[in-house]
Each structure stands twice: as structure tokens, then as C-alpha cells.
Amino acid sequence: RNNIFDRLINNKKLIRVIEVHNGLSALISSQARFKNNEFDCLWLSSLTHSASKGKPDIEYIDDTTVTQTINDIFDVSLKPLIFDADSGGRIEHLKFTIKNLSRLGVSAIMLEDKIGEKINSLEKKNKQQQDSISNFCSKIIESKKIAKSKGIKIFARIESLTLNKSISDAINRAKNYLNAGADGIMIHSKKDKPNEVFSFCKKYNLIINKK
């Protein structure tokens, strides 16, 4: 699957990813079409995975349950899987998480730059704090030491916009996270319209083209 994921990234300008949270949703998603095209990858979301278990999105789901869900997904689909790891927790624990996810066949891990007790980003009164750039870069660097040898990618999810910070803040974080070794960036927004996401993407693309 990791070879498939690498080929997708290297050869396609746009990769379509669809959310799954159990074996049945993975089976349906693998057969779904978007404008007559298959989705390229699957995304295991912490929000919907928690909801499918009747639990709040507070990083409650344990590693054993996550492992079982991933096995259920791969029982019915050969598509690459991106795993939403929330903040990743303590770096000492995250290293073991990366190793386990790699053994299971996960292609990429998404880490969000928030700290403290988990609050879903879509909450209207979201008082969660964003990690400092230096701390999160350290987490990326340490994660990459393990991930690179395991053939699994580390993506950085920027929460600036969900916490009412500026696009400039998000861009600055993107630069730093990429320099720290992140394999990709995800920008998150809770606005009804995609304007700020498009604005970020235009500025982000200027960063990439300068490299």
C-alpha cells in the first residue's frame, strides 16, 4: 500500500480521499465514485471513529480498538489509509504508535498542532491551545526518525484557522513544519465557505514553487 501511496503522490496532481470508520464504511467507500472516478485513499477520522463507537471525540479510543478497526478496513480494501492521530500525544508514546501503524499497513499519519485535552476543532467555543512552532517541529523531527525507516509518512495538520488565527500564521507554520521534515500539510477550517482555505492554498503553492 505504501508503494501505491507514493505513486499516487508522485504522479497525480489531485488525490481524492474519503473518510471511513469501520469495515462496512471502507467497503462502501472503496466502491464509491466521484464524478465516475474512484477515491484514491481512505481516511480514518478520530471524530467518526469515536462516534461509531458511541464515544466523544476526546482521544478516548484505545490502541487495541484502533488496531481492530484498521484490520477490519484492510480486510475489505486495498486502498492506502491515512490515519488521524490527533495530537499524537507524548512523543515517547507516539514512537510506538508509528511503529504499530506501520506494521498494520497504514501509509500516513496526520498530526495536529494542538495541545492539552482534546476538543473537536469544529466546536463553536473551542478553547484548545495551539502548540508552539518549536515544540511541534520537534515532534515532527522525532516522528520522522521512526517513520522514515518504516516507510510511513508524517503529515502536519495546522489548526490556526479553526482557532481564529490569521492565514499568515498558518503559512508561517507550514514553512516551519515542512522544513522540520513533514511530508505534507493539511489546513483545517470550520467556515461554511472555502474562501480562507483557497487563500491559504494559493500562498502555500507559492512556497512550494520557490523550493
Catalytic-residue membership of 57: yes
Handedness of CA 170, 172, 173, 178 (dihedral sign): positive
- Asked if 178 contacts 206 with a C-beta cutoff of 8 angstroms, the reply is no
Shortest CA distance to 44 belongs to which of 64, 5, 72? Answer: 72
The catalytic residue among 57, 72, 86, 183 is 57
Q: What are the cell numbers at 59?
A: 482521544
CB atoms inside a 10 Å sphere around CB 130: 19
**Grid-cell match 466502491, residue found:** 31
Shortest CA distance to 177 belongs to which of 117, 129, 122, 130? Answer: 130
Please report which residue ranges of the chain form alpha helices under DSSP H: 2-11, 23-31, 46-52, 63-76, 91-104, 133-150, 167-179, 195-210
- Dist CA 156 CA 87 (whole Å): 10
Residues serving a catalytic function are 57
